[in-house]
Amino acid sequence: MTMQRATNIAVSTVSAVSLRGTIEIDCAETVATFEIDDELAHRLCADLERFLTQVPRRVRTARF
């Protein structure tokens, strides 16, 4: 699998009654579109919060 760098992200609401939306991610001149619901949005939010608040780990170097 090839990793692509995201260059833009857009989130749109499709329906507010049954909360649904779309996420569009631009990368490498391609746009990937995903449909999400409120449950997935909350999981994504929690994962991003964990990502943003990570404490960088120190890399231990071996001493010889």
6 vs 60 pLDDT, higher one: 6
Confidence (pLDDT) at 10: 96
Confidence (pLDDT) at 28: 83
Q: What is the pLDDT of residues 19-63, one digit of tens each?
A: 999 999 999 889 999 999 999 999 999 999 998 998 777 666 666
Q: How many residues are given for the chain?
A: 64
Alpha-carbon gap, residue 48 to 23, rounded angstroms: 14
Q: What are phi and psi of 63, to 5 degrees?
A: -105, 130
3-state secondary structure of 51: helix
Confidence (pLDDT) at 60: 65
Cross-strand bridge partners of residue 27? 6, 30
